[in-house]
Amino acid sequence: MIELRYFAWIRERVGTGHESYETQAATVADLIEELRGRDEGYAFAFSDPASVRVAVDQELVEPDAPLKGAREVAFFPPMTGG
Amino acid sequence: MIELRYFAWIRERVGTGHESYETQAATVADLIEELRGRDEGYAFAFSDPASVRVAVDQELVEPDAPLKGAREVAFFPPMTGG
Amino acid sequence: MQVRVQSEIFDMGAELNRFAERQVNAGAVVSFSGIVRDLATGGLKFMVIEHYPGMTEKALQAIAEDAVQRFQLYDAFILHRYGPLAPSDPIMMVATAARHRGDAFAGAEFLMDFLKSRAPFWKKEITSDDATWVEAREADEDALTRWKPDHSPD
Amino acid sequence: MQVRVQSEIFDMGAELNRFAERQVNAGAVVSFSGIVRDLATGGLKFMVIEHYPGMTEKALQAIAEDAVQRFQLYDAFILHRYGPLAPSDPIMMVATAARHRGDAFAGAEFLMDFLKSRAPFWKKEITSDDATWVEAREADEDALTRWKPDHSPD
């Protein structure tokens, strides 16, 4: 089980801020592909992979990052702090 | 008559902060040359022309600046504010 | 070095003074404060900032440590708010202390560039009839390239 | 735009707040504060700053106007002290306000570079047995070249 977290408009499109999720996906990109197939909300949230940022265990990663051992995966749009 | 003003170590070497002075010098450089001949203090103050900055009527000028019409000429070392 | 994430408003002058008083023999202190601007069209009621508790603090700490090391800063400070913010409220601030001004300025710009694009904050603008997530500016992502080791500084 | 020359100590936080409160819809406020450092050898009793009353105010005003125009600043502020200053006293500060952070930072650096080498202030360091005029750093004069129109920015 991985804890999934969603922020900003990705959270709004998915419809929840966090959930526990069982997956065999090997990489972040595989997981995104899997999530897109769940329902329309997920498909909408992940429709443009270029505008999705991912953190594994609270560290920014690239889409090819492996998920092995990950406890928490977070999805969010490009950051706009400051 | 021109009002001459001296600051920082130029003031200390000349021995005064300001004085009225009568001159026929055409340019700042001519005036410096003239002042150098006045006494040892002035000669010391102006011994290294590269480290003397000049303002005519409170505007920074180059040594070849004309003195015609000047009311106040100030001499000082490179500035060190901030 | 200090990083803080809070919803409460803060007093940028008081924060600057506290930061400066902590310094020993720093000749240069730089601060940057970000303030909620109204929209070009007017009518901003408030802004909401969402963040990622846990990751936010770690990201800010890493950015501050990186800045201190790169620019040999004596100290660095980052404060960022989340939650609802009114127009003209301060959003965040950073401060740096260094021996000379060049490092203090560069350190503060570095903090800002990384904070903008690498710390998990998202802004939403609320008007009376709309709520819009602020889009990341390409210029903000581009700003990071100037800090790459192979990018020769001017 | 405001420039001030005074012998009295000042509160940099209070000055920053006053400056920021004057702004309307500026997204970015940058401040720089210069502080009296002790000498490398220790033993600085105090610093004395001499200036050229009359010319100082005009020079600072011209520098501030130039910065506002070049970087489309909403506002600029310069405050510089003269007379005797104790170690760890604030010497001076500048502040800028702009729409975006790049201009606010560049404006503040520009103010500092010109103030350092073009405003008539001179520092003297007083120890228990010596009094030495601070020498201008070549780096400070060199810093001005980056603002020349024919110098392509990075």
C-alpha D154/C-alpha D150 separation (Å) is: 12
| Chain-chain contact of D30 with C99 (C-beta, under 8 angstroms) | no
Tell whether the torsion through CA atoms of B15, B19, B24 and B29 is positive or negative. positive
Q: D40 or A45: which carries more pLDDT confidence?
A: A45
Give me the mean pLDDT over the C73-100 stretch: 97
In a domain, D58, yes or no: yes
Query: Token pair 């991985």 is at which residue?
Result: A2
A interface toward C at CB cutoff 8 Å?
A: 5, 7-9, 11, 55, 58-60, 74, 76-82
Angle at the Cα of D68 from the Cα atoms of D66 and D71, rounded to 5 degrees = 100
| Chain-chain contact of B81 with D119 (C-beta, under 8 angstroms) | yes
In a domain, C125, yes or no: no
Residue A11 pLDDT more than 60?
Answer: yes
What is the rounded average pLDDT for all residues in chain A? 97
Judge whether A57 and A3 are in contact, CB under 8 Å: no
C-alpha A58/C-alpha A5 separation (Å) is: 10
Give me the mean pLDDT over the D125-152 stretch: 88
Residue D152 pLDDT more than 70?
Answer: no
User: Residue D76: CB partners within 8 Å, gap ≥ 6?
Assistant: D1, D64, D67, D68, D94, D95, D96, D97, D107, D111
Range of the domain at D29: 2-34+54-120
pLDDT tens across D12-30, in order?
Answer: 999 999 999 999 999 999 9
Judge B/A contact: 3 or more CB pairs < 8 A. Answer: no
Which residues are registered as beta bridge partners of D5? D80
C-alpha D110/C-alpha D90 separation (Å) is: 20
In a domain, C39, yes or no: no
Query: Within its chain, how far is the Cα of C59 from the centroid?
Result: 12
pTM: 0.95
Give me the mean pLDDT over the C135-141 stretch: 89
| Assembly ipTM | 0.94
C-alpha C141/C-alpha C56 separation (Å) is: 18
CB contacts < 8 Å between B and D, how many? 70
Judge whether C123 and C48 are in contact, CB under 8 Å: yes
Query: Token pair 């100590």 is at which residue?
Result: D9
C-alpha A29/C-alpha A46 separation (Å) is: 11
Q: Within D23-82, where are the H helices?
A: 55-70
Give me the mean pLDDT over the C103-120 stretch: 97
pLDDT tens across C48-64, in order?
Answer: 999 999 999 999 999 99
Q: How confident is the model at residue B20 (pLDDT cuts 50, 70, 90)?
A: very high
Listed by start position, the domains of chain B span 2-76
In a domain, D48, yes or no: no
Collapse the DSSP code of C96 into the 3-class scheme (helix H, G, I; strand E, B; otherwise coil) and give the result.
strand
How many folded domains does chain D comprise? Answer: 1
Please tell me the distance in Å from A58's CA to the nearest CA on chain C. 5
Instruction: Give the range among A8-12, B33-37, D37-41 with minimum mean pLDDT.
Output: D37-41
Report the 10 Å Cβ neighbour count for C94. Answer: 28
Q: Is D23 on the interface with C (CB under 8 A)?
A: yes
Query: Token pair 């070095």 is at which residue?
Result: C1
In a domain, D145, yes or no: no
Collapse the DSSP code of C22 into the 3-class scheme (helix H, G, I; strand E, B; otherwise coil) and give the result.
coil
C-alpha A39/C-alpha B4 separation (Å) is: 85
Query: Within its chain, how far is the Cα of C40 from the centroid?
Result: 22
In this structure, CATH architecture of domain B2-76: Roll (3.10)
In a domain, C137, yes or no: no
| Chains adjacent to B (≥3 CB pairs closer than 8 angstroms) | D
CATH code at position D114:
3.90.1170.40
